Chains A and B, each alone.
Chain A
Amino acid sequence: EAGVVQSPRYKIIEKKQPVAFWCNPISGHNTLYWYLQNLGQGPELLIRYENEEAVDDSQLPKDRFSAERLKGVDSTLKIQPAELGDSAVYLCASSLGGQPQYFGPGTRLTVL
């Protein structure tokens, strides 16, 4: 069974540029999560989807971050414009109901 797929694995951009990350969850998993992991810290939730509905986006900085999961399967997280402080690893995870969350390899973003 394929795991959570994320792309790209690495991204380097200049500040004020836009960037997008893509995630394809494990087949059949209805819940999808985007986490932010700063260096030396544990991941922190940005947004959680139940199917195509965003049910928890309280930690998403909505002035510059947006996300979508149009068909309830794959998802895109966008930052526009990126700031220096956005440099981090962006992790996508999925789960089936209340089962454990399974994570993708992450996208390491560097903003110059």
Chain B
Amino acid sequence: AQKITQTQPGMFVQEKEAVTLDCTYDTSDQSYGLFWYKQPSSGEMIFLIYQGSYDEQNATEGRYSLNFQKARKSANLVISASQLGDSAMYFCAMRALTGTASKLTFGTGTRLQVTL
């Protein structure tokens, strides 16, 4: 079984500052993928970034980076230079990369509010 824990229900960050959203996970799978999604008020889940369990480098996509610490089972999302449009719910998710277990297991999300 897989479990994702996001302990921050809500976060505030000032515009242009960096923010870290926490995510810890638990799995018995040896090969797995970690994902972050953004969900604005419109409801659509937007894929942001992906990290494979065997990737040695931390993933980066523009202003998003994933701080992957395998031994600690954490996959925190770092957003640099926050913008007002970053205000949304953020979900951490994972899935096994072996067999046919392709479903995503999500955390409960963190609501990020970017202020002026």
Contacts and interface: CB of A to CB of B under 8 A. Distances in A.
A and B: partners?
Answer: yes
Interface of A: 31, 33, 40-45, 48, 55-56, 89, 91, 93, 95, 98, 100-106, 108
Given A33-B103, A55-B100, A91 B108 contact: no
Nearest to B93: A42
A105 B44 contact: yes
Contact of A45 (B46, B47, B103): B103
B103 A91 contact: no
Contacts of A55: 100
Interface string B90-116: 010100010010111011110000000
Contact of B44 (A98, A100, A103): A103
A44 B107 CA distance: 10
B2 to A, nearest CB: 12
A104 B106 CA distance: 16
B106 A100 contact: no
Contact of A31 (B4, B37, B45, B102): B102
B106 A43 contact: yes
Nearest to A58: B103
Nearest to A107: B43
22 contacts: A40-B108, A40-B109, A42-B109, A43-B91, A43-B106, A45-B103, A45-B104, A48-B102, A48-B103, A55-B100, A56-B102, A89-B43, A93-B45, A95-B102, A98-B102, A100-B35, A100-B50, A101-B104, A103-B47, A105-B42, A105-B44, A108-B43
A56 B103 CA distance: 9
A54 to B, nearest CB: 12
Contacts of A48: 102-103
Q: Top 8 A-B pairs ranked by shortest CB distance?
A: A42-B106, A103-B45, A45-B103, A106-B43, A105-B44, A100-B47, A42-B91, A43-B106
Contact of B107 (A42, A91, A100): A42
Contacts of B106: 41-44
Nearest to B4: A42
